[in-house]
Amino acid sequence: MDFLARQLREPYGPLVPWVAFCCALGCIWLGLHHIVWVSADQRKNELETEWSAARHRLVQHAEAQKARQDLNVVLAELPSERDFAPLALGITEEAKKDGVTLPSLSYQTEKTPVARMTRGVLQGSMSGPYEKLRRLIYDLETAEELVFIEDLNLVRSGNQGAQSLTFNIKIGTYLRGDGNATAGP
């Protein structure tokens, strides 16, 4: 107390209470700034992060919904599993029409990772003159049905001078169905 009383008697003595008052106000301001401003800024950052995450989830949801609608459109265009055997028969008939021998076309379905969709595979050998084989391949590639040639291999024959060629062909397609894999004949 003596020290304070001595300081108040000095020529700058009347300023001591004002300096103490300003220091007190500064401490109060720093405390409030830290408590109110910094915590509000942290809360604002947390809310911005939550908003950004929610916005990202909303965009993902909208994209997933669009993809689901697109998938439903594609599934509606695909033949059903019960149409797979007639498709194989149609390819055989097309081969006959083009003058190509397609003695045995085996078919089977396989599971796919997509629900309500299976993959159909047709395999066999085909023989005929080059022009007729080329016409059949063109007809398959431009068919209304979604069929694609996965593999086409020329089978070597002992007779090099023959006008007839033999190919092993593998044709794939996708089918609307329950996803169960079944084997055909």
Per-residue pLDDT of 130-178, as tens digits, reads 899 999 999 888 888 888 899 999 887 656 556 788 889 999 998 887 5
24 pLDDT band, cuts 50/70/90, is very high
pLDDT at residue 182 in the model: 44
Classify residue 113 as exposed, middle or buried by CB count within 10 Å of its CB (0-12, 13-18, 19+). exposed
Contacts of 128 (CB under 8 A, 6+ apart): 98, 99, 100, 101, 136, 164, 165
pLDDT at residue 59 in the model: 97
Neighbours of 157 (CB within 10 A): 11
pLDDT at residue 105 in the model: 83
The SS3 of residue 148 is strand
Mean pLDDT to the nearest integer, 115-122: 87
pLDDT at residue 10 in the model: 78
Mean pLDDT to the nearest integer, 92-105: 88
Contacts of 161 (CB under 8 A, 6+ apart): none
Mean pLDDT rounded to a whole number for the chain = 84
Per-residue pLDDT of 32-77, as tens digits, reads 888 888 888 888 999 999 999 999 999 999 999 999 899 888 888 8
* pLDDT at residue 30 is higher than 90: no
Q: Count Cα neighbours of 108 within 13 Å in the Cβ-side half-sphere.
A: 9
pLDDT at residue 184 in the model: 43
103 pLDDT band, cuts 50/70/90, is confident
Sign of the CA dihedral with 39 first, then 40, 45, and 48 last: positive
